[in-house]
Amino acid sequence: MHITQHTDFALRVLLHVGSNPGRRVTIAEIAERFDISRSHLMKVVNQLVREGILEGQRGKGGGLSLVRPAASIVVGDVVRRMEPGMVLVECFGTEGRCLLNPACKLKEALGKALDAFLRVLDSYTLEDLLDNPATIGTLRLVPVPAPTRRAAPRPLSRPRAG
């Protein structure tokens, strides 16, 4: 199985936005965090907004946020929405010209494999993918500051004997 880079980036965007609850995340910070072209990321984000998965707000204080809780965003649904088609081999498409198509067992086997692939993805939500403190720590743009140690007080200098 193989998903497109577009879908891969969509899942990364959702992970990043989902790991930063309570604040809007900008495309610029996602692009920087994952080293992805901003123009390519714009296409991905626009589709996520059109699909009703993300909400985008323009202007000062704008950015991206999840439309619904991470627990209700199913990974398999995201993949289906982002992939242009689930054509594993030529005969899955409408213009297949394979001679074996009318009686091919390979098409049946690949169809079942695709169904199993999507069924596994359907068993995960965005919340499941974020259920790891290391993942969240890696994705959060604003790190939690480490406790600072106070410097030991400097000893008072003794007056010189004169």
Q: Indicate the DSSP class of residue 41.
A: H
Closest CA to 59 of 26, 37, 36: 26
**pLDDT attached to residue 49:** 97
- Write out residues in the chain with pLDDT < 50, as ranges: 143-147
Amino acid, single-letter form, for residue 102: P
Angle between helices 38-50 and 5-18 (to 10 degrees): 80
Decide if 99 contacts 62 (C-beta within 8 A): no
Domains and CATH numbers, the chain: 5-86+125-139 (1.10.10.10)
| Average pLDDT, rounded, for the chain | 83
DSSP string, 17-68: HHTSTTS-B-HHHHHHHHT--HHHHHHHHHHHHHTTSEEEE-STT-EEEESS
**pLDDT attached to residue 84:** 81
